[in-house]
Amino acid sequence: MKTISRRLVLGGAAALGFAGAAFAQTKPIRVLVGFAAGGGNDVIARLVAQRMSEGAAGQVLVDNKTGASGLIAADILAKAPPDGTTLMVAAQTTYAVAPQLYKSVAFDAPRDVAGISLLGASPLVLVVNPSFAAKSVGELIEMAKARPGAINYGSGGVGTTPHMAAELFFYNAGVRMTHVAYRGEAPAIADVVAGQLPLLFANVSVVTGQVKAGTLRALAVTSPKRAPGLPDVPTLAEAGIKDSDVETWFGLTAPAATPREIIQKLNADVRKTLAAPDLQQRFAELSLSVTPSSPEELDALIKSEAVRWGDVIRRANIRPPE
């Protein structure tokens, strides 16, 4: 991925739709990301922020607050002043999965955050180091059945969507592997590229470049259809593994008490931003779909995803890291 500066000179109030007296403010706008730079949440946050910056004045700080599957950042969001100056880009990992893993946390997404809009969705891709013996999903399953638990796989952390997608795949394929959790998707990917780890599921938007460059080999994508950015890579369903479709969705959110007029204004500006042809082209190159929504639709999605992934957590007996 192209590196985008952590401190982005974006558009301040105008870039995020705060133009006009009702939304005028001089403070920088902080967009929280709960995972390390280079991961899926970070990539989409910076792409959207970069497009919003064009022609505007002011500052927006993209602030990576890692830990506890994004809950550290989410807790900061929940406690932030509900004035539109603190927002967060998050996915199901933080809002639908992590609260069910970390039972001691006080954060509850339906209660503590307000949806603004979905931004996009990324299928996942099962990638391996080019030297790894398995050249297909079928060969990987054969290896895993012959040596239960002997093959390691990585993820950006317990409860992340790539971790949950892997557990869903293992259940449907009838195999078992050993999870190695990292503090972010990017370092896990780096270890697969370096040969320190054989495989992982990753967001297509993050690893498309490595797959095309040959530093990673893709075995299958988790989307119902093949990813536009990786048209030669089969789906898990095509590889014979049913009911394993997973996409990482990314949404922009605010503290729950944020006035509805600010939420609605932000929603309108997000929709306008996502309609920009150059942004849509960049999303397509990374196999990211553009999925704007109403605030209410994002709120409902968070609730429904909690039910789905709660079932996977219980079935796989997933526990939070100690």
CATH dotted code for 123-221: 3.40.190.10
> What pLDDT, on the 0 to 100 scale, is given for residue 53?
64
Closest CA to 151 of 222, 215, 200: 200
Residues of the chain with CATH 3.40.190.10: 123-221
> What pLDDT, on the 0 to 100 scale, is given for residue 54?
61
> What pLDDT, on the 0 to 100 scale, is given for residue 52?
66
Closest CA to 313 of 200, 283, 305: 305
Bridge-based pairing of strands 152-155 and 178-181 is parallel
> What pLDDT, on the 0 to 100 scale, is given for residue 232?
95
On whether the CB atoms of residues 61 and 7 are closer than 8 A, the answer is: yes
> What pLDDT, on the 0 to 100 scale, is given for residue 82?
97
Task: Give residue for tokens 């080019």.
Answer: 130
On whether the CB atoms of residues 155 and 162 are closer than 8 A, the answer is: yes
Residues of the chain with CATH 3.40.190.150: 7-121+248-316
> What pLDDT, on the 0 to 100 scale, is given for residue 298?
97
Q: What is the CA radius of gyration of the chain?
A: 19
Is the pTM above the cut of 0.95?
no
pLDDT along the chain (322 residues), means of 10: 39 41 59 88 84 54 87 96 92 91 87 96 95 98 97 92 94 96 91 98 91 98 91 96 92 97 87 89 86 96 91 89 73
Cβ atoms < 10 Å from Cβ of 212? 12
> What pLDDT, on the 0 to 100 scale, is given for residue 78?
97
Task: Give residue for tokens 């530093």.
Answer: 215
Strand partners, 121: 249, 289
Residue 209 CA, distance from chain mean position: 17
Out of 3.40.190.150, 1.10.1240.10, 3.40.50.300, 3.40.30.10, which CATH number does the structure's domain 7-121+248-316 have? 3.40.190.150
For 219, which DSSP code? E
